[in-house]
Amino acid sequence: MSQSTSPWYSRPDLLIQNGIKILFKRYRALKPLGKAFIWATIVFYIALTTFFIVVTPARIFQWLYDLAHNLSKLPFGWVALGGIILVASCPPFIGHTTAVTLCGFAYGMKGFPLAAACSSLGSALVFVSCRLLFSKRLRRWSSANTKWQALESVIRAKGLPLIILVRMCPFPPWMWSNVLFSSIEAVALWQFVVATMFIYPKLLLHVFIGSRAAALADGEQRSHMDTQTKIMNAAFITVGILVGICSGWFVYQAMQKHIREMGDIPDETERLAADALEDVEEGAPLLRSFSPTPETNTADSQRGNNPYTL
């Protein structure tokens, strides 16, 4: 395979450079409304970070613990927590990981069935809703995008194993991943549901981190802990986070390698399919109205002039 198509996933610096170039190019192609949305999102996260610093992490985690504790005492508190997970599965809402971690805060390891069931249900609802509401738009968009057509061809050829690998990959984030799969016609609902089950270990890890963090978040419990217990809890949390990061990066590398080394698929198709996943824009097929060019052809996509090119 040529130098231009050699795997880049072992070079994080190339990933960052590629991401910055893609984001800047697509930002310039946006309408004023789209740019306003981007800046509103940036301001939101700046405000959120400022709030986190001013209020202090200790008080925020204490509030989270109190919220989770109160929910666990309510007869139907699990319904409220499950509802948060369902909503967080729908773009553009965020907080799915936090909601899953709250299951550990509130119920310990017993919160895992709630997190798994609601995550599966929420993702399936997003998948079906996007297919029903945006099927014509997605079909028109994918027909004009060479990379997306290549991705669909690769997934159609490899089937469930590749779908599982892509689903386990940490990129894109949870809610946009649900949209991503609904945008790929080659993926059936049953395949999507089965692939979602393979992220249960990741959900279990988040619940475990929440169960360990709950004791440290509560000031009263923390005051009765000896130093050794605090260190052990902090170590469990740190190891859990590191395991999650390392496993996510490993799966991402494995997915890219699997796509690029498919012997029964043309090299160009492999490259375009891998590029589609590398360059995937959050919700791009469903947010076309933000761009000044309503329709583009395949040739534009190949030349790189299509603002929706994945």
Among residues 114, 130, 258, the alpha carbon closest in space to that of 200 is found at 114
Residue 272 lies in a domain: yes
Residue 17 lies in a domain: no
Please report the pLDDT score of residue 301 as a whole number: 40
Tell me the pLDDT tens digit for each residue of 210-269.
888 887 887 777 777 777 777 877 787 788 778 877 777 777 677 667 666 655 556 656
Buried b (16+ CB within 10 A) or exposed e, 115-126: bbebbbbbbbeb
Q: How many domains does the chain have?
A: 1
**3-state class (DSSP) for residue 304:** coil
Residue 106 lies in a domain: yes
Among residues 276, 289, 298, 296, the alpha carbon closest in space to that of 30 is found at 289
C-alpha pair distances (Å), 31 with each of 38, 212, 287, 288, 294: 11, 45, 11, 10, 11
How many CB atoms within 10 Å of residue 29? 17
The amino acid that residue 126 corresponds to is V
Residue 161 lies in a domain: yes
The amino acid that residue 95 corresponds to is G
Residue 39 lies in a domain: no
* pTM of the complete model: 0.68
The whole-angstrom separation of Cα 297 and Cα 309 is 11
Please report the pLDDT score of residue 62 as a whole number: 85
The whole-angstrom separation of Cα 179 and Cα 190 is 16
The amino acid that residue 55 corresponds to is V
User: Which of 24-33, 137-146, 201-210 is the most confident on average?
Assistant: 201-210
Domain that holds residue 184: 56-303
Residue 48 lies in a domain: no
Contacting residues for 80 by C-beta, under 8 A, at least 6 apart: 71, 74
Tell me the pLDDT tens digit for each residue of 194-203.
999 999 999 9
Cβ-contact 246, 170 below 8 angstroms:
no
Tell me the pLDDT tens digit for each residue of 15-69.
677 767 777 777 777 778 777 877 888 898 899 889 888 888 778 888 888 888 8
Among residues 147, 178, 129, the alpha carbon closest in space to that of 308 is found at 147
